Chains A and B, each alone.
Chain A
Amino acid sequence: MQLTLEFGGGLELLCDSEKIHKVNVDLPNGVEELTMKDLLSWVRTNVIKERPEMFIKGDTVRPGVLVLVNDCDWELSGQLETTIEDKDVIVFISTLHGG
């Protein structure tokens, strides 16, 4: 499925300084729906080029990374359980740098 990933607040530095990534993600074998959990591990493998610890902590994003799915805070859609659909826009913004 086609997704748009946007990295901001310094996270773009972890992926070749590109803020917007148009990507094509295939569903893992035997899975019907893609969740944010699947997407995060996909992003970590395929998009993040350096210092993944700035992005991931444990199996979720590092505290202080804001995640918006279609401009909505993922806390409202179930965080890691949020299901992702074709053409969704997912934004990651690090809030850990200075003002």
Chain B
Amino acid sequence: MEKGEAKSKKAGGPPRLCCICNERRPVLKRPKTLQQICRECFYEVFEEEIHQVIVKNRLFKSGERVAIGASGGKDSTVLAYVLSELNRRHSYGLDLFLLSIDEGITGYRDDSLETVKRNELQYGLPLQILSYKDLYGWTMDDIVKMIGLKNNCTFCGVFRRQALDRGAALLKVDKLVTGHNADDIAETVLLNILRGDIARYVYIYLFLIMLSLGYIMIHTYAYFKKLDYFSTECIYSPNAYRGFAREFIKDLERLRPRAILDIIKSGEDFRIATTTKMPEQGTCERCGYISSQKWCKACVLLEGLNRGLPKMGIGRARGGVNGGDHKKETKAGSTVKSLESKQCGSLDF
């Protein structure tokens, strides 16, 4: 402590105090307001911000069962920790569960699941694990062996989205929450603009419950609180395109710390022409889960794998059961076609 004060003296002027409590030594600058705040006030601001998102959007009702999608990574670990704290502190009256998906990625998911198992004990939340192997008969290791490292993330993303739905049904929960952060959302907004993918904004709206907190805040919180999380990049995901957006956003943030929140705001305010045909939510004829098409994306991809045609359902070259729609789209004109040919089943967070 003494040393810290000596240091800030060297940096110029008398030692500054926390902008909020005016008592303790500040440890970081809050990106949103540029206030210098101390560790205790940081915890308070951080937790309060999440509490406000929950209250303002009326996310929960007392007595609800809520599953937390837990990967073992920083976002979900912080979410699980903060949500169980807030549930106690503000008496939300929620029954919380941890829900993890085992994609079957040796050397990555098996390690991160160990983290989730420790979290189960640390936070006293019951844990349910569902595996791709049990649900679909394929692990990601098997899928990558078959299709290589191109488009594998499409399979993983689509399967996980549905696996979370199935897990939620199994646990009989009313709601499923997933932890995301402002940086991820801003990246996704940028990527969707770059891809011209308007339909995905629908999902952005649905996911506004996410934390409006950036990476730096979440990492600092996890570090100071000594939370137990797993931080290795997936071995199958070089994810170059997203990597570019991420670096670009980080460069912007350095020039203007609010940039990330501003990008999200632009995403929210994006106007979509009334003539644009948006996907409608229905159910998959095959498995009964949510789909905007006759067959859901997971079923199309799975059918492709099982028939040894893994390219089925990827990108614009669509075949199989939903192919019928494709002809209709072509007749309906090129604008609609280019919008419709993007499937919306996968969330690329």
Hey, which bits of chain A sit against chain B, CB under 8 A? Answer: 8-10, 13, 62-64, 66, 68-73, 75-78, 81-83, 85, 88, 91, 93-99
Q: For the complex, give the distance between the alpha carbons of A9 and B80 in Å.
A: 19
A73 with B220: CB separation less than 8 A: yes
Contact status of A98 and B233, CB under 8 A, knowing A71-B224, A76-B27, A76-B36: yes
The interface on chain B, measured as residues whose beta carbon lies within 8 A of the other chain's beta carbons, has a size of 44
Partner among B12, B179, B233 whose Cβ is within 8 Å of the Cβ of A97: B233
Residue of B nearest to A77 (CB): B11
Contact residues in B for A72 (Cβ distance below 8 Å): 4, 7, 25-28
Q: Chain B 248-260, CB within 8 Å of chain A: the 1/0 string?
A: 0011011000000
Whether the Cβ atoms of A78 and B220 lie closer than 8 Å is no
Given A10-B233, A63-B254, A97-B233, the answer on whether A68 and B223 have CB atoms closer than 8 Å is yes
Q: Which B residues are CB-close (under 8 A) to A78?
A: 11-12
Task: Tell whether, in the assembled complex, residue B3 and residue A63 are in contact, meaning their CB atoms are under 8 Å apart.
Answer: no
Q: Tell whether, in the assembled complex, residue B231 and residue A97 are in contact, meaning their CB atoms are under 8 Å apart.
A: yes
Contacts beyond the supplied A77-B11, A99-B71: 11 A-B pairs with Cβ under 8 Å: A8-B223, A9-B219, A9-B231, A63-B250, A66-B216, A68-B27, A68-B220, A71-B39, A78-B11, A83-B7, A99-B349
Determine if B3 and A99 form an interchain contact, defined as CB atoms under 8 angstroms apart: no
The reply to whether B7 and A73 contact each other, CB–CB distance below 8 Å, is no
Q: Which of A77, A82, A93 contacts B223 (CB 8 A)?
A: A93
State A78–B13 Cα separation when bound (angstroms): 12
Nearest B residue to A10, CB-CB: B231
Cβ-defined contact, B231 with A8, below 8 A: yes
* Contact mask for chain B residues 159-195; partner A; CB cutoff 8 A; 1 contact, 0 none: 0000000000000000000011101100000000000
In the complex with contacts A10-B231, A78-B11, A99-B74 CB distance below 8 A:
yes
Cβ B246 vs Cβ A64 within 8 A: yes
With A82-B7, A98-B233, A99-B181: A75-B28 Cβ-Cβ less than 8 Å: yes
Q: How far is the CA of A17 from the CA of B219 in the complex (A)?
A: 19
Nearest CB on B from A88, distance (A): 8
Contact B29 A73 (CB under 8 A): yes
Chain A residues near B7: list those with CB within 8 A.
69-70, 72, 77, 82-83, 85
Shortest distance from the beta carbon of A10 to any chain B beta carbon, whole Å: 5
Which B residues touch A70, using CB under 8 A? 3-4, 7
B104 contacts partner chain A, Cβ-Cβ < 8 Å: no
Residue of B nearest to A84 (CB): B7
